[in-house]
Amino acid sequence: MIMTKKLIYSFSIFAFVFALAGGAIAKEITVKRGESLSIIAVRELGDINRWQELADLNGISDPRRLKEGQSLIIPDAEGTSSVFSTSSSSASIMHLQGVPSLRKIAGAIRFKSSDLAGWSDLKTNAEIKTGSQIMTANTGIAELKIQSALLELGNFSILKIITLDGLKMQLVIGNLTIKTGSDRIVVLSGENAIEGENCEFKLAIDEAGALRATVYNGSIRIIRHDGTSTSIEQGFTATVKRGAVPELKEVISPVKLAQPKDNALTDLENILFQWNPVQGAKSYRFELIPESENMPKLIDEVTQPKIQVNAIPEGKFSWSVTPIGIQDAIKSKSFALTVDRSAPLLKLNPPRQEGANWIISGNSTPNAIVMLGNEKITASNTGSFEFRRNLFSGVLIAGVEARARVNGAASRAGIALAGRVDGTSAEVVSEIPSGKVLVNGLPLQNKLQLAEGTNNISWSWEVKSEKIAGGSLKIVIDMTPPEILSVRAEPDRIKSGDRVTIKVGAKDRGMGLGEPDAARITIVGPGSFELELNAKSLSNGGEYIFEFDTPRNLKSGYLRITKLEVSDRDGNTIIMESEGMATETVDPRERLHKFFSHIIFLGVGILVGSL
C-alpha cells in the first residue's frame, strides 16, 4: 500500500479491564506529555467525572494549561472501588477484529494481575489475526500497544472499559468500533472524553485531526475539558474540533425494516422478518433483543434481506438490522414487537328484553374487538359492550367472540334466545363468527318443528370440534286462550260521579296472562252512555283491574258489561259478548271459535241511584 508521509502518525492505545482496590492513600504524580486532567482522573481515581476535583485540589483554573512535568496531588480514591468491583470469576475476552494481522504492528502485548505485580509478556508466537481472542482475568490488566498506524486518537490516548462480566471490543487500525452491554465505557482522546453504556459506536480521526464519533446503537456523551457535555443519539455523527462544540449530523441507515411493522402485536410462534435489500451489502446482522433479561438474545448473520425465526416465546422484543460490508453503515431503526398468545376476558350478562329487542351485553378486556356474528364493535375503556337484536318471533342462537387485537387469541361465549312462536314451527337463526351450531345433536335447520306444550331444545356452538357453549332452551307452545274465572264490580250501587272498580279474574294454561293493556271491556248505561276501557293493572292473583268515574249527569238505571276481551302472552284471545249469549275465542292465527260457556258472567249490572 502506498501512503504519503503526512498520513503516518504515532498511535498509542491502552486497553484496560480491571478492578480497582479501595483504600488508596493520597499521593503526588508528575504530568506526562499529552496528559489531561480527564486522563489522570480515569487512571488514578477510576472516574472521569473527578477531573474537577483534581483541578480544585491543585488550584488549576484552566484545565487546558496543564504542563508536562507539573506535579499534581492525587486525593484518596476510597469510595470508587465499588464502581469497578466484580463478583464473577470468569475470564474477560478481548476480540480483535478488522485487520489482516495485528502482530506485525504490535510493539508489545503484556499482562499483569494487579498494580503490585510486574508486567509479563503474553505468548505471541503465533500471529494474532482477525477474530483472535486475548484472555485476561477479570481482576487483571491487559495492555495492548500499537506503535504506529495511519491515524491516532491523540498522544497517550486511553481506552478504558469497566466491566462486570467481560468485554467485547472490535479494534480497527485508524478507528475504533466499540460495543458494550450494561458496562460503562470511557474513551479518552486528547482533551475529550467519550462515555457510554449499552451502546455501540465508532471513533475516528479525520485528516484535519478532528475526532469523529458515530453512534450505531444507544447513545454516548462527549465531555470536553471544561466539563461541558454533548449527548449523541443513535444515527448521528459528531465531529469534534479542538476548542469547539461538537457538530452533529444525522446518518440515515440504508436499511428500512418492512415487517413486522413497528409496535406489531401477534400471537404467532414463527415469524418472518423482512427488510429492503441494501446495495453493496455482503450480509446483514439481525438482532432480536428481548425486553426481559431472563430471555436469550438472537443475533444472526444472513445473506438475504429476510430471516424466519421459529418458536418465539411470549414477551416484548425489539429487532434491528445492520448491513455488513458497507463503509460507515449504520444500524437500522429498532422496531418494537410484542408476542402475546393470551386470550382476553369475556363474560356475558343475562340477556334483557326491551319490547321486541333483546339486549346482549357483557364485559371483556378494555378496548377489545368484540363480534356477534359478523357485527364487530370495540369494547369501552372499562371493557363493557352491548349488541341489540330484534327478535319478535323465532329462535336466535348467538355466538360472541372477543380478541385483544386483530388476529389475536379469541375468547368465545354463546347464548340462545326465543321470541314469540306461532304455531308448531319456529324459524331458527344463528349468528356466530365461526364454527357451527347443532340443535338436538344435528346440524342447524332453518325451521324447528314443535308440539303444543313445553318443548325442551338442546343446542351447542362448536369451533374446530371444540364445544364453545351450549344449553337447553324451553319453548312453550300455547294455542289455548285464557279462561275467565270471575267478574266483580265495586260498589254495586253508586251515584252519578262516583268511581267504579271492576275486577276480572282470569288464568292461562300456557305462557301466562298478557299485560294490562291486553284486557279490555265495553260498558253501556242509561241513555247514550257507552265506555271502552283497558285494564289499569294486573294483580298477583290474576285479576285485571279496571277503574272509571261515572258522569255527574248520568241518569238512573244500570251499567252493564256487554263485551270482555282478554289475551295471553302468546296472543291467544277470548272475547265474551252478551248479545247472542255466545263466547268467542281467537288464537294468534285468527281462527275464531264459538262455544256456550261463561254466560253467567255476562250482563253484570251496577245500579245507578237517582240524584
> Is residue 277, in this structure, part of any structural domain at all?
yes
Rounded distance, CA 594 to CA 609, Å?
Answer: 36
Q: Which domain holds residue 586?
A: 483-608
Q: Is 307 helix (H, G, I), strand (E, B) or coil?
A: strand
Least confident span in 120-134, 288-302, 427-441, 467-481: 120-134
Rounded distance, CA 359 to CA 390, Å?
Answer: 9
> Is residue 28, in this structure, part of any structural domain at all?
no
pLDDT of 493 reads: 79
> Is residue 547, in this structure, part of any structural domain at all?
yes
Say whether both 120 and 12 belong to one domain: yes
Q: Of 250, 277, 295, which residue constitutes the final position of a domain?
A: 250
CB–CB of 180/165 below 8 Å?
A: no
Q: 234, 309, 321: which is closest to 278 by C-alpha?
A: 321
pLDDT tens, residue by residue, 229-266: 889 988 888 888 877 788 888 777 789 999 999 998 88
> Is residue 469, in this structure, part of any structural domain at all?
yes
Distance of CA 167 to the CA centre of its chain: 36
Q: What is the CATH number of the domain that holds 261?
A: 2.60.40.10
> Is residue 26, in this structure, part of any structural domain at all?
no
> Is residue 574, in this structure, part of any structural domain at all?
yes
Q: Is 368 helix (H, G, I), strand (E, B) or coil?
A: coil
Say whether both 239 and 265 belong to one domain: no
**What mean pLDDT value characterizes the chain?**
72
Most confident segment among 48-57, 90-99, 233-242, 455-464? 455-464
Say whether both 353 and 435 belong to one domain: yes
Distance of CA 570 to the CA centre of its chain: 49
What average pLDDT does the segment 369-379 reach?
94
Residue 550 has pLDDT above 70, yes or no: yes
pLDDT of 83 reads: 24
β-pair partners for 229:
223
Q: Who has greater pLDDT, 205 or 93?
A: 205
pLDDT tens, residue by residue, 324-350: 888 667 788 889 999 988 888 899 999
β-pair partners for 200:
179, 217
Q: Of 452, 477, 502, which residue constitutes the final position of a domain?
A: 477
Say whether both 401 and 324 belong to one domain: no
> Is residue 78, in this structure, part of any structural domain at all?
no
Q: What is the CATH number of the domain that holds 556?
A: 2.60.40.1930
Would you call 187 exposed, middle or buried from its count of C-beta atoms within 10 A (0-12, 13-18, 19+)? Answer: buried
pLDDT of 77 reads: 57
Q: What is the largest CA-CA distance in the chain?
A: 141
> Is residue 79, in this structure, part of any structural domain at all?
no
Q: Residue 593: CA atoms inside 13 Å, Cβ hemisphere, count?
A: 13
Say whether both 201 and 102 belong to one domain: yes
Say whether both 438 and 473 belong to one domain: yes
Say whether both 421 and 525 belong to one domain: no
Q: Of 442, 459, 477, which residue constitutes the final position of a domain?
A: 477
Say whether both 237 and 323 belong to one domain: no
Say whether both 146 and 213 belong to one domain: yes
Q: 166, 172, 178: which is closest to 215 by C-alpha?
A: 178
Q: Is 432 helix (H, G, I), strand (E, B) or coil?
A: coil
Task: Label residue 93 by pLDDT band (50, 70, 90).
Answer: very low
The three cell numbers locating residue 258:
418492512
Percent of the chain with pLDDT over 70: 69
Q: Who has greater pLDDT, 15 or 291?
A: 291
CB–CB of 539/486 below 8 Å?
A: no
Rounded distance, CA 300 to CA 32, Å?
Answer: 45
The three cell numbers locating residue 404:
385483544
Residue 198 has pLDDT above 80, yes or no: no
Would you call 113 exposed, middle or buried from its count of C-beta atoms within 10 A (0-12, 13-18, 19+)? Answer: middle
Q: Who has greater pLDDT, 197 or 336?
A: 336
Binning the chain into helix, strand and coil, the percentages to the nearest 5 are 5, 50, 45
Say whether both 385 and 496 belong to one domain: no
Task: Label residue 284 by pLDDT band (50, 70, 90).
Answer: very high
Element (H or E) spanning 447, and its range? strand 447-449
Q: Who has greater pLDDT, 319 or 222?
A: 319
Least confident span in 282-286, 471-475, 514-518: 471-475
H, E, C per residue of 229-281: EEEEECCEEEEECCCCCCEEEECCCCCCEEECCCCEEECCCCEEEEECCCCCC
pLDDT of 217 reads: 76
pLDDT tens, residue by residue, 294-303: 888 888 999 9
Residue 547 has pLDDT above 90, yes or no: yes
Domain count, the chain: 4
What average pLDDT does the segment 514-527 reach?
88
- Cis previous bond, 75, omega within 30: no
Say whether both 456 and 532 belong to one domain: no
Say whether both 90 and 157 belong to one domain: yes
